[in-house]
Structure formats: structure tokens, C-alpha cells
Amino acid sequence: MTIVAARRYLAGKVTDPALDLQRCSLPAVEGEFDWIGVADPTPAELALLQDRYGLHPLAIEDALTRGAPAKAEAFGSMLFVMACTAALQDEEGIAYGQTAIFLDRNFIITVRQGSARAHTALRQQLEANPQRLAQGPDVVLHGLLDYLADGYVPLLDKLDLAVEEMEEGAVAGFPDQARIRRIFRLRRRLRRFESNVGHMEEVAGKLASASLPAIDKKARPYFSDIHDHVRHSLGRARALNDTLGSIVEVASLLEQNRQGAITRQLAAWAAILGVPTAVAGVYGMNFDFMPELHWRHGYFIITGLMLTICLGLYVRFRRIGWL
């Protein structure tokens, strides 16, 4: 188990920057609480925290389950929150992780798995504001969830650029097989993102409205703000998914229009070329009784007639937009 931090606070200030989890006693003074952060622990390592802080075994089981959905459940005086993390893995891939949070009046424990985004910056930010931190560990819970929700924004920004690129490419021409596979692959990833963030929206809404242990009523408006942030990210993901679905449809319509224009052009040229072809075909049958064959100016008359008809057809097709 990697102990990222184990600190004790009193009145918003650090009183013990490196708690010994094997020997330390529980916080007993009013306004004193512990903030423990661990990453990728084993069951045996979590058992130490369970024994020390009296964590519920069902919550421990959820914390060790990879891919568990986001949730918020009360276990007596303790609140257990499972939060989903998401980060861009490669150009368009999404790497998911989870952060299990155990909250009580005198401690908050975070168990981070599958996420490389540590909470160090958040801890420094909160410690720089002792008055805010002195309000209790529910302030830390709000900061953590807000920190995780903010992590969705850069991911969606990059996906937004990718979808915009696909839109521009669809207008230029019908997507090839590689681009179509890319579209459907990205849609599949966005659907999974919607599912995970949808659970986070439910958690934030529950924290903002329900009466839960270890959360002061005055802190609920802060969780409403998180609910708005998560809902906004969820709306962006849904909009991107809808846009990807419309790209193929729009590209198909544009391709049908282009093919229709080509078909009309071919039909127009076939009609124009059909006139001299028909006339030349008649004179190529070598009939004996064709008086016009002996006209002195017959060649020029027939040639001029063919050119006049062809020119008239060309002008007509140009006017109706076939050429």
C-alpha cells in the first residue's frame, strides 16, 4: 500500500504531518480529524485501516472491487462514497479509475485505484486555507469530488476537438472505413463515459439533497455545485455522442447528393451525344434509296443540324443545373 499522506488536523492546521497508523490513537478533541490517503492497497493493508477506524466490511469490499459504480451509502455514523475518475489515455482512449472515500466526523480516508491523478494539489490548496479546512472533513469530501469532476473537463475538450475534425472531414467527402471505425469506436467510449458519469451525477445529487451522516447541512449547497459540474460534463458527452451519430448521416446525404449530380451529368451528356450517334447510325446503314445522299450540301446541313440540336440541349441542361 502506498500511503500518499496521513495527517492530523486541528482547527484547520496540521498537528501531525506523518501519522503512525500502527500506533496512533483516534482523534478525540472537538474539531480534530485525520486525513488518510492511500493508493492501490491490498485487502490486508485495508484491514489495518478497518481495524484502526472501524470501517464497515461492506464498504471495504466495495473499495476493493475494481470497476464498481459510483455510489453514496451510509453505514451508521460513517458515510461511504465511491467516485469515478476518468482521464485521456492516448489520443482518444479513456482510462477509468475509482476513489473510495470513508467519511466520519473525525476522519476522512481516500482509497485511490487505477488513477494516476493524486490529490496532492488539492491537499496543498485546502491546507493553505485553514479557516475553510477547520469546518470539518466534509469540506475535504467536497474538495475531492470537485477535484475529480474537474478532471472530466480536459478529457472532453480533447474529444471535442476530435469530433470537430470528424465533422469537417465528413463535409469534404464520405468517410472511409478507417474513419467510420474511428467514429463508432469513439461513440462506444462516450457511451461508457456517460454511464460512469451518470452514476456520479446521482451521487452528487444525493449528497446535495439527502440527509447523510458526517455532512453538515451548511455544506449541501457546495455539493449542489458539484452536481451542476457533473451534469454539465454529462451533457457535453451526450452532445458529442449525438454529433458523432449525425456525422455519418450527414455524410451519407452529401454523398447521395454528389452521386445524384454525377448521374444527372452523365444522363445529360448521354442525351447530347445520343443525337449525333442516332443520325450517324441512320446514315451508316447504307440504304440504296436515300435521296439526301445526293444533295450537294447535305453533309453540311446534317452536320449543322446535329450541332444545333446538341448546343440547344447543352444550354438547356446548363439552365436546369445538370451540367
Residue 185 banded pLDDT, cuts 50, 70, 90 = confident
Whether 108 and 35 have beta carbons less than 8 Å apart is answered as yes
Residue 22 banded pLDDT, cuts 50, 70, 90 = confident
Residue 59 banded pLDDT, cuts 50, 70, 90 = very high
Q: Is the pLDDT of residue 244 over 70?
A: yes
Question: What pLDDT digit, counting tens, does each position of 98-107 carry?
Answer: 999 999 989 9
Share of residues in the chain with pLDDT > 90 (%): 33
Question: What pLDDT digit, counting tens, does each position of 146-172 carry?
Answer: 999 999 999 999 989 888 888 777 666
Closest to 73 (Cα-Cα) out of 215, 192, 216: 215
Q: Is the pLDDT of residue 108 over 70?
A: yes
Query: Rounded to an integer, what distance in angstroms lies between the CA atom of residue 23 and that of residue 217?
Result: 34
CB neighbour class for 64 (10 Å; exposed up to 12, middle 13-18, buried from 19): middle
pLDDT at 156: 92
Residue 254 banded pLDDT, cuts 50, 70, 90 = low
Q: Is the pLDDT of residue 1 over 60?
A: no
Whether 37 and 112 have beta carbons less than 8 Å apart is answered as yes
Residue 1 is given by DSSP the state -
Closest to 16 (Cα-Cα) out of 31, 6, 4: 6
Does the pTM exceed 0.85? Answer: no
Whether 87 and 94 have beta carbons less than 8 Å apart is answered as yes
pLDDT at 312: 81
Cell digits of residue 198: 451518470
Q: Is the pLDDT of residue 175 over 70?
A: no
Query: Rounded to an integer, what distance in angstroms lies between the CA atom of residue 241 and that of residue 160?
Result: 10
Share of residues in the chain with pLDDT > 70 (%): 87
Whether 166 and 45 have beta carbons less than 8 Å apart is answered as no
Query: Rounded to an integer, what distance in angstroms lies between the CA atom of residue 217 and that of residue 208?
Result: 9
More confident residue, 257 or 97: 97
Query: What's CA 273's distance to the chain center, in Å?
Result: 54
Angle between the 177-209 and 220-283 helix axes, to the nearest 10 degrees?
160
Q: Is the pLDDT of residue 256 over 80?
A: no
Question: What pLDDT digit, counting tens, does each position of 263-313 carry?
Answer: 777 777 777 777 777 777 766 666 666 666 666 667 777 778 778 887 887
The phi and psi torsions of 306 (rounded to 5 degrees) equal -65, -45
More confident residue, 272 or 18: 18
Query: Rounded to an integer, what distance in angstroms lies between the CA atom of residue 77 and that of residue 107?
Result: 11
Burial profile 96-107: b = 16 or more Cβ within 10 angstroms, e = fewer: bbbbbbbbbbbb
Which of 85-89, 147-151, 201-205, 289-293 has the weakest average pLDDT? 289-293
